[in-house]
Structure 1
Amino acid sequence: MSFTIAIIGRPNVGKSTLFNRLVGQKLALVDDEPGVTRDRREGEARLGDLAFTVIDTAGLDEGRKGSLTARMQEQTEAAIGLADALMFVIDARAGLTPTDRAFADFARRANKPVVLIANKAEGKHGELGAMESYALGLGDPVEVSAEHGEGMGELYDALRKLMPEPADEEVTDEDIDAEEGGLQRPIRVAIVGRPNAGKSTLINHLLGEERLLTSPEAGTTRDSISVEVKWKEREFRIFDTAGLRRRSRIEEKLEKLSVADALRAVRFAEVVVLMLDAQNRFEEQDLRIADLIEREGRAIVIAVNKWDLVEAKPGQITALRRDADHWLPQVAGAPIVAVSGLMGEGIDRLMAAIVEAYAIWNKRVPTAALNRWFEQAVDANPPPAVSGRRLKLNYITQTKARPPSFVLFCSRADAVPQSYLRYLVNSMREVFGLPGTPIRITLREKANPFAHKRKRLS
């Protein structure tokens, strides 16, 4: 089990900047506005030869019971409970505040080793604030600048004293067999959709705990938070993302950062679950998000959430399937699952659909079978003549999976109509069992063996 350290402190002291510095990536959103971080975010940190898990938390702040602020603090308290040690961060430029003193007592009561970090300690004002921090009674402060990477050597020394010596791991026969057998790594899944579609509620039900903040207020989730989920012996890394609104409605800088983080989660995912609101499904923004997923080449599963609020009528799932194929022809046949994240309905069907979509996304078609189908498809519906000249389609081959991608060799590649390519894609979906997944066909002109002779004659 990895040594775990939680970064705590009042809002806007630089906790997320320090988190990003330790994990070596800009995973957590950073902005001058206080309270950007709401959920707790975990990452694998390295500092010199030290490797540990670090948890970024919401700023410690007081809020009335049941409020969003209070629930943010509950997430922070949960992170403290999971941690082996704490990094208590203060803003050295601002100096000590009454809130720092109150939460220093809170950190002390946690009965965990605490490293006091005076962040933003560069310059004369930073030095004075760091000196003030001795009054907290948490030991010598480690003066750092998380933004500029200063003081990391001193932080290494402080953490080295807390962390156990790494044990020599004995490699067993079971480890070797597992490595040779090729262990399945987690499937990366991004949950996306419009604000307040119920993405975080669904993930919390999968985890069986209130891991992610939920609220009736749209826009509660800001960072793309990843969590590990195990379902029927299969592991998943699921990314909860901020709600995606139309670009014209995004005004605040912070929301722009959240949306960029969500889009990055889509690009790094393997399967993307597009979550629709059952009472307002297939709105324009839903269609735009689906189009984005298809352009990025990710496997797609459509989840219609809040199904418990829909009046039960016969034939509703069939109608959903028909609507999905009508509005989203670019991913025709994509699995569509009715779920209720709040009640836990349809979760098993959703997870099964994710596994199936992932398998289709990885599918390879044998070249012989592919060209038998190709010959039959072209004979049944030959390509149209362009400018009085017949198009010649020679053969097709699959170049890669993830998503299934093919190269079609032909004459006059620029003249092949898009409508004919759509015909080939739809036929391929039906014959080879590729529903819903994006399919790429690249046209390539076959080299003309007589081209050089023509040049000589001219």
Structure 2
Amino acid sequence: MGFTVAIIGRPNVGKSTLFNRLAGRKLALVDDTPGVTRDRRIHPARLYDLQFDVIDTAGFEDAAAATLQGRMRAQTEIAIREADLIFFMVDAKAGLLPDDRTFAEIVRRSGKPVVLVANKAESRGAGSGMLEAWELGLGEPVPVSAEHGQGMPDLRDAVIGALGDARAFGEEEEGEAIAESEVLIGEDVADPDAEATYDETKPMRIAVVGRPNAGKSTLINALIGEERLLTGPEAGITRDSISVDWEWRGRRIKLFDTAGMRRKAKVQEKLEKLSVADGLRAIRFAEVVIIVLDATIPFEKQDLQIVDLIVREGRAPVIAFNKWDLIENSQEVLADLREKTERLLPQVRGLQAVTVSAETGRGLDRLMEAVLKTHRIWNSRVSTGRLNRWLEGVLTHHPPPAVAGRRLKIKYVTQAKTRPPGFVVSCSRPEAMPQSYVRYLVNNLRDAFDMPGVPIRVALRASENPFAGRAKKR
């Protein structure tokens, strides 16, 4: 049946490092800066023969509810309520601080079983911090080193002691592999070349990206109908790429919230570089990417670069013009946005663009319908027979140009892959084919087979000459 563990403690005691250790992969961002983690993250974990879900949380801070730290603390309190067991983590190297005592009292009042984890126990002088930890009244501290993996057998024994054998081991579901039970950022998208039909049973992976303060986290909260992600007026709140499981009209969906992406020249701090790299990884392994643009200041240079990156990665893009509730003269602005979308993003002609308001919930169903339509097109396949009948008409209407006095010949075309649609064109002298004619073929493919708004790949191949390499017989 499994159980859930929440890792709680003040900032910079090593919660995310232990989370990564238990999850078996580097999912959470780790840095020496206090307060790196802000949202809570849940992932299946394993500790030797124990299998459970682990929640990484923001560092507990004593702050007013309206502040960013106060909102982070509210997320951590939700994690405490959801957990069956709490790992209360302290820094054995630094010893106890006043905040440790305050938060230990909060954890004690929750009534949940607690394991006191003394991290950084490998460092010199950690012994005194271990002795101080007894003062919290949470039982015997378990010395561990999350960075180096020391003390994990003792931690396992402490979990069993806190929960009991029956609860700790539970009933394992057959065929369930914890580390691989969820498709996560970092795992490649399988390329279903053999599939001819659209499979609606598989979970769809959607990444939500954009510039800082465009409303990405607010949009995800509005979609799922709960305050799952940390939001606020401050720019750059989100740091980790957080995944959220959701269901829309019976379709299973995995949403990935990402950090805001500023221009590369402005990204100087190491932590922001890590956050952006995590967001880029989310784009690379999503299926559909929702680009959230601030409708009050749309199509900044950075917005166009984000869309171009998504197209180059071969993902299916959808634009959400957020903060539509702030727009006056909406019909005029909408017409202007549509014209700019077509003019500034010709590489994905027909791109789906929807006006939404994450604050009021307006336009969310239309956004998800656009996502589903784009995902279906991204998975579409055209038979070779239909493609070559189309090619015959194209060549009759507009044949390839002559290069260096010799006309280029196109023999046939076939679809080699989906996700995104990729086509192979067999022709003579592919190196001489002008890019303008390749673009003509791509645009004609879009119109003929109704594939707007997704990247289309066209590869040129020279057909094999069966007589190449043979000496001419006299």
Q: Give the TM interval when normalised to the shorter protein.
A: over 0.9
Residue 57 of structure 1 corresponds to: 57
Question: Number of matched residues?
Answer: 447
1:180-215 CA-to-partner distances (Å, cap 9, x unmatched) read xx8823211000001100111111111222211112
How far residue 2 of structure 1 moved from its aligned partner, in angstroms, is 4.2
> In the alignment, is residue 206 of structure 1 matched against residue 223 of structure 2?
yes
1:315 Cα deviation from its structure 2 partner: 5.6
Match of 2:378 in 1: 361
Aligned to 1:69: 69
Larger displacement relative to structure 2 (388-397 or 69-78): 388-397
Q: Is 1:4 aligned to 2:4, yes or no? A: yes
Q: Which residue of 2 aligns with 1:427?
A: 444
CA distance in 2, matches of 1:331, 1:84: 48
Distance (whole Å) between structure 1 residues aligned to residue 59 and residue 290 of structure 2 = 30
Q: Return the match for 2:363 from 335, 346, 358.
A: 346
Q: 1:337 aligns with which of 343, 346, 354?
A: 354
Which residue of structure 2 aligns with residue 175 of structure 1? none
Tell me: CA distance 1:169–1:91, structure 2 relative to 1, closer, same or farther (3 Å).
Answer: closer
Task: Give the ranges of 4+ consecutive aligned residues of structure 1 lying more than 3 Å apart after TM superposition.
Answer: 168-171, 312-319, 455-458
Unaligned regions of 5+ residues in structure 2, if any?
Answer: 176-198
Q: Residue 469 of structure 2 aligns to a residue in which SS?
A: helix
1:166 aligns with 2:183: no
The answer to whether residue 302 in structure 2 is matched with residue 285 in structure 1 is yes
The whole-number CA distance in structure 2 between the counterparts of 1:313 and 1:139 is: 62
Deviations 1:16-54 (A, max 9, x none): 011111111211111101011111111111122222111
Against the structure 1 CA distance between its residues 11 and 298, is the aligned structure 2 distance closer, same or farther, given a 3 Å change threshold?
Answer: same
- TM-score normalised to the size of structure 1? 0.94
In structure 1, the residue matched to 2:341 is 324
| Aligned mates of 2:124, 2:330 — CA distance in 1 | 71
Query: Which residue matches 1:301?
Result: 318
Q: Write the deviation string for residues 405-427 of structure 1: whole angstroms up to 9, x where unpaired.
A: 11111111111111111111111
Letter of the structure 2 residue corresponding to residue 166 of structure 1: G
Q: Report how far residue 103 of structure 1 moved.
A: 1.0
Q: Name the residue aligned to 1:178.
A: none
1:99-148 Cα distance to aligned partner (Å, 9 max, x none): 11111111111110111111111144223322321221111111111111
Per-residue CA distance 1:255-300 (angstroms, 9 max, x = gap): 1111011101101110000111101111110000000000110001
Structure 1 residues 101 and 388: CA distance shift in structure 2, 3 A: same
**Are positions 1:269 and 2:311 aligned together?**
no
Partner-residue secondary structure (3-state), 2:403: coil
Q: What is the deviation of 1:79?
A: 0.8
| Structure 1 Cα separation of the partners of residues 333 and 60 of structure 2 | 46
Quick one: distance in 2 between partners of 1:100 and 1:421? 64
Gap change, CA 1:373 and 1:216, over 3 Å in 2:
same
Letter paired with 1:378: L
Q: 1:403 to 1:183 in 2, by over 3 A?
A: closer
Per the TM alignment, residue 457 of structure 1 is displaced from its structure 2 partner at its CA by: 6.8
User: Partner residue of 1:149?
Assistant: 149
* AA of the residue aligned to 2:293: L
Matched AA of 2:252: E
* SS in structure 2 of the partner of residue 451 of structure 1: coil
Q: Distance in 1 between matches of 2:351 and 2:47?
A: 44
Note the 1:5-404 alignment, pairs <5 A.
5-161=5-161, 162=163, 163-167=167-171, 184-314=201-331, 316-404=333-421
Change (3 A) 1:170 1:416: closer
Q: 1:176 maps to which residue?
A: none
Which moves more between the two structures, 117-126 or 306-315? 306-315
Residue type at the aligned position of 1:122: E
Identity of aligned pairs, percent? 59
Aligned partner letter, 1:167: E
Cα 1:18/1:313, change in 2 over 3 Å = closer
CA RMSD of aligned residues (A): 1.7
